[in-house]
Structure 1
Amino acid sequence: MLSDKSSATVRATLPAVGAAIGDIAELFYTRLFAAHPALIRDLFNRGNQSAGLQKQALAGSIAAFATHLLAHPDTRPDVMLGRIAHKHASLGVTREQYAVVHEHLFAAIAEVLGEAVTPEVAEAWDEVYWLMANALIALEERLYAEQRVVAGDVWREWTVTGRAEETADCTTFRIAPADGAPAPAHRPGQYVSVQVELPDGARQIRQYSLITSPGSAVRAITVKRVHGPAAAGPDGEVSNHLHARVRTGDTLRVSAPYGDLVLADSAAPVLLASAGIGCTPMLSMLEHLADTGHAAPVTVLHADRSPADHPLRGDHRALTHKLADATARFWYEQDAEPGDGEGLMDLTAVPLAPGTRAYLCGPLPFMRAVREQLIARGLPAADIHYEVFGPDLWLASA
């Protein structure tokens, strides 16, 4: 809870801080990486930094947290905090790193806002920062304890036991702990971080959803090769490395599983909507529903460029057919086959059972469009859950 004194100051200065938060975030990262170059080399995603995505996510989360403290002083934005904490835990973020962030963030605030940052203003925003930081630290320490790992050391060596080319740009890697010990438990929908050493010596980290259910003896991830202007550089450096260099028998450093988009243990009807590589967490959920004999209706929806671009398309259909009451419908922008939809996903004719819980994963515009359609159909917002690959820009773009 924010103190009354700080609440008044934050309320008065939030418009100015909010208007400048993008500049503050950019200067913060510049200062942080100048002082600690190992962070951009071995912890932060260089592609997201290059594209400015992490700056947008940081700005959105700080502004959203402060706004929530003012509007709902007796509660915390636990959904937002939980999503950040899971991502941090998968990277091994430590308590000590929050002090480093504080140092450079507040130096950036002072430099951007200048004389407007009086001691009173600095004290109020310091309180906001530590309320958010301490909440995240507590959540992350709990996540580490659940997986029996130590902050800063979440990694194990895993062996690639198989590799399959799913589409021209998507490859599945089957993996197993190199020491032969059991794989750590995960929940359907969670991801792992994978750390690889690149030719320049950087040890970059990316997150990939586990596509198999918790009950499966196999663990696997499906990686989409990232194209674009920087496909040979930061934007696609890890995915291209995995596609080009990692073969059966090779070793990867893999984190414990994390992620807050998980299938609830419930007998309620389920809707799984995805686009592109966003189908990967849905495959884990779908397999878990099949494994547990889920009897309520399950609606499986997917949108892609074409059937040839749809990763794990056969698994998508096969797992749906294992369920007692499930239907699958796919939409393609081109080369749609008989029975498939053409163009963008349209839920107008899709049956929606009462009490449905919906799970979405894919590009942000796709998830926004599907969420709007579901709400228009009467599904409560609280029953719609989503996963963003990369920095969560939902808040930043709201």
Structure 2
Amino acid sequence: MSEQEQHQESPENNDDEGFDFTHVNSVARIALYDNLLSAPRVTEIQPAPTGEFIESLATNVYQQSQAAGGTIPYTVIREVSENFIHARFQEATVSILDHGCTIRFADQGPGIACKDRAQLPGFTSAIEPMKSYIRGVGSGLPIVKEYLDFTHGTISIEDNLGTGSVVTISANGSNPQLPKELEIDHVEEDEDAEHPEPTAPRYRIAEEDHEPAYNAQPAYAQPSAQYAPGFAAQPPMQAYQQAPQMAYAAPQQFAQPGYAPAAQQGYMQAPIQQPMGYPYGQQLQQQPQIQPAPVDAQPIIASLSQREKDFLVIYLKEGVLGVSDVVKLTGAAQSSVHNTLKKLEGIGLLKMSGKKRMLTNLGIQVAQLL
């Protein structure tokens, strides 16, 4: 927790000893911004015992930011949420921006006078009554800063309007300001991609859903490089990877009678599975050939929104696709597509193939069950 806030001198600060830190009597608000053109959706955290209040606030911020596509871990959000105790939880407001990648914590307490030292270990203004709920040793903001530095994120501490402080954390590697819409999308645009006139989308997908998958949050908390947590070491997956084509030579012979072996294998097989193949995609060689090994994919499926499931089905049918390809297929906003694909990649269902993406082995198995 960032309990090491350095408070400005004020009469309120002198009254901390007489303040009841066992119960929070004020309401905290969480504002989730879909974009900057519409009003945010506001969630209120009602008064409760201090420990329960902090837990509820941090959990709700984490779940909403993750559902919006963010990657900031719970530990970091919890550290900054605990910081509100120094402001005695006065007008605590949390704003979730940039598809969950930027979170701003504001209060109207006494503020932080020494903003630089507040980010160094050991500097603290915590008093004894606070230490039943926070560590109180000046380790909170330093932990947050170290994590964000390591992940190329940022943290800023500013004065709020009038009184109080504003702590902004951002995991997108940029200055934590209110982001411009679609700015994040330029990262994965193909340099040589053409931009033809828009056509009618071929797939109908679910509207963007920010409702969190509460029972499956651990799958997002620590994404694996290849597979969702809990599935990395399953023996059936190993067998699936090591011998992807042993028992399925027949489809190759069917697709290529009379042709010499060549690099065009994948394209000859495409008509077997999908006669009306999408020109942007390159058919996965495994898809028409492999019967996936039995894997309990239900926990993963339960953690996915309907839109994420729709995207997996599209990748199963179309093969290798880039952001612009998915936009053309679905008519979805480019920023939304980008963030959904990044999330699916983070939990091990998609992987990069050049500048585009394709299903992982686990992704294929999950998609075939949808």
TM-score by length of 2: 0.27
In terms of fraction of residues, the more helix-rich structure is 1
Q: Tell me the TM-score normalized by structure 1.
A: 0.25
